[in-house]
Amino acid sequence: MSKRTIVALPGDGIGRTVLDEAIRVLDAAGFEADYVEGDIGWEFWRREGNPLPQRTIDLLEKHKIALFGAITSKPKDEAFEELAPELKEKGLVYSSPIVCLRQHFNLDICLRPCRTYKGNPLNFIRRGPNGDVEEPQVDVAIFRQNTEGLYGGVEWSDPPQQVYDAFLTHPKFKKNFGSVPKEDISISTRIFTKRATERILRAAFDHARKYGYKSVTVCEKPNVIRETSGMMYKMARQIQQADYSDIELWNTNIDAQMMWLTKNPEDYGVIVAGNMFGDIVSDAFAGLIGGLGFACSAQYNPDTGIGVFEPTHGSAPKYADYKVSIVNPIAMIESACMMLDFIEEHDTAKRIRKAIAEVVAEGKVRTYDMAKMSGRPDVIEKGAASTQQMTDAIIAKL
């Protein structure tokens, strides 16, 4: 097979550190690829007024697959302050490059798997019926709609008159908000389309079938958010009855789900939700399997084959300048495994995951988070592994 080209998008802070480590592991596993670096992140906002330059979009368009570290985002005013002086007059407004990537390439499917590694000291434990300690095996795959809903960006403060007038035609708006001055109102919309909803639902059901999960749980709030959550659940029922009768369809409310998931997390298989609830429920499940050092993700468009693979964590700026890096590279390395699965390099992905599992189970090499230390530069002296040492240990198992 011809050698692949992967777009490497290091971004900012620890994103740069962990991406290098993931590439080291891919090399050691014998995955043959060329890596071309794409510019993305804070530095490009400051220098060029654009955190996602067109040349980076072109690179991804051409090569289709990207590994992404993390970026730094700052609030509007701070972003403006840091802009190069000659750009300040241009009326530029900062917006998150990762959200721009999602929308530009319609990366509407976001998959965040959460699987327990045996022997991880950060695993969720609970008390059993006889007071004994149980460690449930979590294995869930969360499908989050990645482009619409509450993160779709259609929002206003002091909305334009036409928008306000349109809202007034809704009896509930009129009754509950009609007496509030327009300038005192902020509105964020939650738009679901049938097309995108069907795509995320089918992605979830297909995944359940392919990997042998017995159930798909729609995690929304259809009893209250009747139009959007209601539509998703109704479509899930239709799709399941028509095409996936071998897979059970479960329905939970996001609030109740947040309670249930510490009670019986091992009972869930595939979970599917809109953008915001998917974000919430995936962070919650990630907390049961080790938190940000372990949480990986894929976002892709099944039609174009364009995919971006990244850890859930951000750029953790306070750790970025440590002389010896202390952060856990596993979330990024796991994200690289998701990339391998996406391009059908399943054997290599499997070998890397097995190597990680062995290192975690052995328990000799643990980054500061796994050692339950607070993240200071002296954690290495106290026995925590550095980022590089964790990677070395994984490579040694390959």
- The enclosing H or E element of 37 equals strand 33-37
Instruction: Answer yes or no: are the C-beta atoms of 308 and 299 closer than 8 Å.
Output: yes
Compute the least distance from the CB of residue 316 to ligand NAI, in Å: 4
Coil vs helix vs strand at 33: strand
Rule CB under 6 A: is residue 315 a binding residue for ligand NAI? yes
Which residues in 234-248 are b (16+ Cβ under 10 Å) and which e?
Answer: ebbeebbeeebeebe
Compute the least distance from the CB of residue 87 to ligand NAI, in Å: 20
Contact track, ligand NAI, 28-67, x by CB under 6 A? ----------------------------------------
Task: From the list ligand NAI, Mg ion, none, pick the one residue 279 interacts with, judged by a Cβ distance below 5 to 8 Å according to partner type.
Answer: Mg ion
Rule CB under 6 A: is residue 98 a binding residue for ligand NAI? yes
Q: Please give the residue whose beta carbon sits closest to Mg ion in the complex.
A: 279
Which residue in 12, 20, 220, 279 binds Mg ion (CB under 5 A)?
A: 279
Compute the least distance from the CB of residue 283 to Mg ion, in Å: 5
Give the nearer residue to ligand NAI in terms of CB position, either 208 or 295. Answer: 295
CA 69 to chain centre: 12
Within 8 A by CB and 6+ apart from 341, the residues are 349
Give the nearer residue to Mg ion in terms of CB position, either 207 or 313. Answer: 313
Task: From the list ligand NAI, Mg ion, none, pick the one residue 314 interacts with, judged by a Cβ distance below 5 to 8 Å according to partner type.
Answer: ligand NAI
Which residue in 25, 70, 225, 254 binds ligand NAI (CB under 6 A)?
A: 70
CA 279 to chain centre: 7
Compute the least distance from the CB of residue 77 to Mg ion, in Å: 23
Q: Within 13 A of 277's CA, how many CA atoms are on the CB side?
A: 24
Pairing of strands 248-253, 126-127: unpaired
Q: 194: exposed, middle or buried (C-beta count within 10 Å: 0-12, 13-18, 19+)?
A: exposed
Cα gap 146→61, rounded to integer Å: 19
Task: Identify which range of 50-58, 190-198, 207-215, 316-324 contacts ligand NAI by CB under 6 A.
Answer: 316-324
User: In this structure, which amino acid lies at residue 28?
Assistant: A
Instruction: Answer yes or no: are the C-beta atoms of 303 and 364 closer than 8 Å.
Output: no
Q: Within 13 A of 243's CA, how many CA atoms are on the CB side?
A: 13
Task: Identify which range of 131-139, 200-208, 231-239, 306-314 contacts ligand NAI by CB under 6 A.
Answer: 306-314
Subset of residues 347 to 376 that bind ligand NAI, contact rule: CB under 6 A: 369, 375
Task: From the list Mg ion, ligand NAI, none, pick the one residue 33 interacts with, judged by a Cβ distance below 5 to 8 Å according to partner type.
Answer: none
Instruction: Answer yes or no: are the C-beta atoms of 83 and 24 closer than 8 Å.
Output: no
Please give the biggest Cα pair distance in the chain.
69
Rule CB under 5 A: is residue 310 a binding residue for Mg ion? no
Task: Identify which range of 46-54, 259-267, 274-282, 335-343 contacts Mg ion by CB under 5 A.
Answer: 274-282
For residue 208, give both structure tokens. Answer: 């359940």
Give the nearer residue to ligand NAI in terms of CB position, either 185 or 371. Answer: 371
Binding footprint of Mg ion on the chain (CB under 5 A): 279
Residues making contact with ligand NAI (CB under 6 A): 70-73, 98, 292-293, 310, 313-318, 327-328, 331, 369, 375
